[in-house]
Structure 1
């Protein structure tokens, strides 16, 4: 899709690519009638524009995503279709991803909560509108520095779906979700509800606190299989000084059976905050990061 750079697409000028994934590529661009404000344009894999059934469903979802209005969700500004491409336009966040930050710094429990709280609020809002995210991960979390501090955004609700709706997108051969953050039911593609996002957000919380993943293999398909059958590495196995109250919250959020997890994002957030209040002043500012992942094999 490099052929798009420097061309027009549906009233937008396509600039340089700024991201890519299984669903397509993201470019920085401009609306031709507003060249002063850059936007992010996600151009989806051509398979989507060629399959009418997938196209109809995806366009329904995009229209619903456009209706989302929350301060911690990157807004979708519009969408369009050409003979070859399907695309949607998002606000361009002038910041960095949580994935990039994790490569450079550690997060104490207090700092982790500054990231998790707005993410939980965004997901809770999405769920209240009947939309699951299904790909909560550091690469979809954006942090923008503003005059009043840092602002956290959750992006890529384009993978979202209604609870209980069969996911026909798997027929394209393009993965939906990221194995390291996928719940067991998401791996199986069945009975996916809000608890699946609870699982993914818990994985992200674990990674923030420990700079390691609860389940990870060298091969991604092995990671997906392990999500079904292997217990997560407990935080205290990595760091014996890890606070028991936080460990209890993480392990409940990572339960294999959805009914054993927190039933809602709000319940997870409430439990995490309650655990924080049990920590000492030293514990809440402690760095619990580990240097390596001994489970990777």
Structure 2
């Protein structure tokens, strides 16, 4: 008995040491709230459906919110934290200020979830579920969302500025940025397909429509009508002007036709390593939908580093 106890003690000690060296997290599960909040998915859907119906662009915004959360220290709802005298959040980072939106929708979901299951469901899980529903409500695929994330008690504006790819990114820098998160070049190309919905400000694509050679002339001229060379920075244009509010594979069809709106979009089809995959997705919506769903699950598995203080926030905008 003494020998067995000693071996158990050594094993537990080894595991604790390992957790100090590597991220150790409880495994996410699609049944995480089966007993504690069994209706959480229907509650999220009940808020998302009218929000997207009223403004389809909101669906794209929630998908973007999820991406911008997960890419900064994991999917921990840190992007939802408001600035305070003692905490500088991520909302005003360069890639988030005046571009990430949908916070009020997450607030509305959280209020209903708290009424049904107090202090149980994390804001990070709500964002993950809302992003899945956003895709599906825009006629895209659906998938089972692994749950069990916790909300970070910290945020990092500097990490947001450093980790989020910008509209002028090259193909190589995109591959590197996603690889740093454990995501492959194929997964990066699939996740970029989220740009099949949503709008972007003139400020972020002006350089492409006036200064790049690999752009369809008719497409460039159409975009120039709402994005002058000076002024109009906040004027919006759809990523996909064919089916702007439908989650389909038209994004890739546009790239093949040199109708990518931002420089970083067209970089995926510009004589590089992703050309073949872009052609595949442009010709087969089913393959794209499957790859996108799997990549969203994988990205949703990015979690905060071991030792990060976490909780289930009662209000997504502030610490408990």
TM normalised by structure 1 equals 0.30
Return the structure number with greater strand share. Answer: 1
TM normalised by structure 2 equals 0.29
Return the structure number with greater helix share. Answer: 2
Point out which structure has higher relative CO (alpha carbons under 8 A, 6+ apart). 2
Q: Which has the larger radius of gyration?
A: 2
